[in-house]
Structure 1
Amino acid sequence: MGGKSGDSLATVLVAGAANLAIALAKLVAGLMSGSAAMLSESAHSAADTVTEILLLVAVRRAGRPADRRHPFGHGKAGFVWAMMAAVATLVGGAGFSVTHGLHEIGHGEELANLTPAYVVLAVSFVMESLSFAKGYSQLRRQAAMVGLGPVRLVRLTSDTALKAVVFEDTAALIGLLIAGAGLAGSQLTGSPVWDGAASVAIGVLLLVVALTLIQSNLSLLVGQAAPPHIQTGIRAVLIAQREVEDVVELLTMMIGPGAVLVAAKVAFRDEVGAAGVEAACDELDRRLREAFPGIVQVFLHPAHGDGIR
């Protein structure tokens, strides 16, 4: 947990520093050129900067230890702050980009000198690529640990800070390409429609990313189960215990980024006495935590084979 939290914190810090510098550069280039797409990209990067600040809070809050009032820890606080970050992207990035782009299409004027805009786009692409590489590197390490591909893991992971950085950096790279295409189209045709359309497209892209992240965090907040491969592995560990006859019911829940709660009703063989059941439960607890370091709470309800309900 501590290692993952540290990796996520470093990933968020890199992304935040890159977004702040990029937002300022895009703003200057947008004002100089009069490009709606550049101003939308500036709003995009500014929204991403706010997002990174909220994700820093999410990582910090989620990492606080359990206490008497919060016996299961503060992991779900990370989901709340991550959802607020996604809302910031929705309002600050997508909203501005779409409305400003539509205004440019209807009332835009010919663009001014675009050279600074192209330079800023190129530099921004390099900086965003470095930020994306940091997030993707962490994603690949985590994927290798659980035997999944990076793309599948980013869909399943409860590390919402990592997911947000990967999604937003991907959207940023695509947005830069869209902005460049819009600028080139307007420069070649002399029409501001291309620039305005690029701004709208960037807004729609941010809308999709924001809604995806909001849905993901909402699912985690209302008690999302652990990913299927983890549930399968937990069941296998339980069944492998020689005293166990069957797993009657298995429930899991993500209670924080990478943190899993396990509750299971386990049928023990009839010949296993009370002392044997207690020893087996202790052994299962140890084996589950050893096999899946993300498991932080284990509750086992024993039942003998002839008492299955």
Structure 2
Amino acid sequence: MSEAAEVKTESVGTVIVAGAANLAIAVAKLIAGLISGSAAMLSEAAHSVADTTTEVLLYQALRRGARPADTRHPFGYGKESYVWAFFAAMFTFVAGAGFAVTHGVTTILVHKHSGDYLVSYIVLGASFVIESISLARAVRQVRGESRRWRTTPRRFLRLTADTTVKAVFLEDSAALIGLLLAALGVGLSQATGDEVWDGVASILIGVLLLVVAGILASNNLSLLVGRAVPERLRREIEQELARLPEVERIDTLLTMQLGPDDILVAAKVDFRDEATGAAIEATADEAERRLTERYPEIRYVFLDPTRSLPGADGRTRNIQAAPSPDAGGEPGPA
């Protein structure tokens, strides 16, 4: 099995584990919230329902985006995975965050708590354990991928085009923070007898979901528009092409993420003047072989022979525009 296929399989497993965990937690939180009347608990139930729906949409993203290329979609369906991932972010924004903030405000205004606190603490503790297990799997995948790309886990998460593992990591991290906020709100309400703390915790959970949804939505929009590969990878591709014996200069180098595991490379190349047509064809084949062998995610390589211009200095003249803010000009994964 190729590295790309292994990564896809692991991403599917990570999404399934997270989805199953969130579904079980959502049911437990909902029951606890209805019994206790806690706004924070009901907001956490909405949080877990949103996360469960998100995992379903992310699974759909992996399945739909993995379809092979056809005549109508010659570059494949990789970008469709970003559409479904964007829908997942929007659902978290509308359903999870909207409910949490609205219910928190209502609780502050009404100051109503109808039941026992003990069940809330039990469910929060059990949920924390289950979410920690789901997050541990996501962290393991992030660390493995960051080692493969020779970068740090933090940089990998910032630059990766695999939005599914990024979404699961951020959502599970937010879930643990949300559980702590809910526990703090319930505890302060019990200690002070004032339900305003329960409402404040619910609002903070909603704000937390807004932040996560905003990050994921922005990332998926960037990839849908057509984001280049990170700067370090682009430099390595340029160096690999420049090392080809018949290549005089790389005139223009453009890259694009077509999907989590699909990269397009297009370059205008100034070949040596004495290079024959056969030599140029062989060089193009060698370029594709070298790049795809080193980076299995590179799916398409297009080289366009270009004429030498007066005053050419042997260096790349027109490289892709400066890295976007999320690339930061730092090395990172594809």
With structure 2 as the length reference, what TM-score do the two structures score? 0.90
Equivalent residue, structure 1, for 2:188: 185
1:153 aligns with 2:140: no
Partner residue in 1 for 2:321: none
Q: Distance in 2 between matches of 1:187 and 1:239?
A: 68
- C-alpha contact 1:76 1:256 (8 A) present in aligned 2: yes
* Mapped pair 1:246 → 2:249: yes
Alignment gaps of 5+ in structure 2: 318-334
- State which of 291, 299, 303 in structure 2 corresponds to 1:288: 291
Specify the code of the residue in structure 2 equivalent to 1:206.
L
Secondary structure at 1:75 match in 2: coil
1:257 equivalent among 260, 270, 280: 260
Q: CA RMSD in A?
A: 1.3
Counterpart-to-counterpart distance in 2, 1:205 and 1:172:
9
Residue 26 of structure 2 corresponds to 23
Q: CA deviation at 1:240?
A: 1.4
**Which residue in 2 is equivalent to 1:232?**
235
The 1-side partners of 2:300 and 2:185 are apart by 52
Partner amino acid, structure 2, of 1:4: V
| Superposed displacement of residue 306, structure 1 | 4.5
User: What amino acid sits opposite 1:139 in the alignment?
Assistant: V
| Residue identity in the other structure for 1:31 | L
Question: Counterpart in 2 of 1:266?
Answer: 269
1:305 alignment partner, SS class: coil
- Counterpart in the other structure of 1:107: 110
Name 2:44's counterpart in structure 1.
41
Does the 8 A contact of 1:260 with 1:296 survive in 2?
Answer: yes
1:117-176 alpha-carbon deviations (Å, 9 max, x no partner): 111111101100110111111111111001011111111111111111011001001100
In the alignment, which residue of structure 1 is the partner of 2:62?
59
Counterpart in the other structure of 2:278: 275
1:266 Cα deviation from its structure 2 partner: 1.2
Mean Cα deviation higher: 8-17 or 270-279: 270-279
Q: CA–CA distance in 2 between the matches of 1:95 and 1:157?
A: 28
Letter in 1 for 2:6: G
**Range that drifts further, 101-110 or 213-222:** 101-110
Give the match for residue 320 of structure 2.
Answer: none
What corresponds to 1:78 in structure 2? 81
Q: 2:172 corresponds to which residue?
A: 169
User: After the TM superposition, which parts of structure 1 deviate over 4 Å for at least 4 consecutive aligned residues?
Assistant: 306-309
CA contact (8 A) 1:95 1:203 kept: yes
Contact 2:36 2:113 (8 Å CA) reproduced: no
CA distance in 2 between partners of 1:104 and 1:121 (Å): 19
Amino acid at match of 2:23: L
Aligned 8 A contact 1:248 1:264 in 2: yes
User: Whole-Å Cα distance in 1 between the matches of residues 113 and 276 of structure 2?
Assistant: 85
8 Å CA contact 2:51–2:92 kept in 1: the answer is yes
Q: For 2:263 and 2:200, locate their aligned partners in 1 and report how far apart those are by CA, in whole Å.
A: 44
The whole-number CA distance in structure 2 between the counterparts of 1:302 and 1:154 is 36
Q: 2-side partners of 1:132 and 1:23: how far apart?
A: 16
Choose which of 131, 134, 138 in structure 2 pairs with 1:135.
138
Letter of the 1:142 counterpart? E
- Pick one of 209, 215, 218 that aligns with 1:215: 218
| Match for residue 202 of structure 2 among 194, 199, 203 | 199
* Structure 2 Cα separation of the partners of residues 237 and 217 of structure 1: 29
Amino acid at match of 1:238: L
For residues 255-301 of structure 1, the C-alpha deviation after alignment (integer angstroms, 9 at most, x for no partner) is: 01131111111111223222211111110110011111110011111
What percent of counterpart residues are identical?
A: 54
Alpha carbons 1:157, 1:258 under 8 Å: kept: no
> Distance between the aligned counterparts of 2:168 and 2:9, measured in 1?
15
Give the aligned residue type for 1:201.
L
Q: Is the 8 A contact 2:53 2:88 kept in 1?
A: yes
Distance in 2 separating the partners of 1:232 and 1:107: 59
2:79 match: secondary structure: helix
Matched position secondary structure for 2:161: coil
Q: Is the 8 Å Cα contact of residues 38 and 113 (structure 2) preserved in structure 1?
A: no
- Equivalent AA in structure 2 for residue 18 of structure 1: A
Segment of structure 1 superposing worse, 2-11 or 71-80: 2-11
Task: Give the Cα–Cα distance (whole angstroms) in 2 for the partners of residues 121 and 168 of structure 1.
Answer: 16
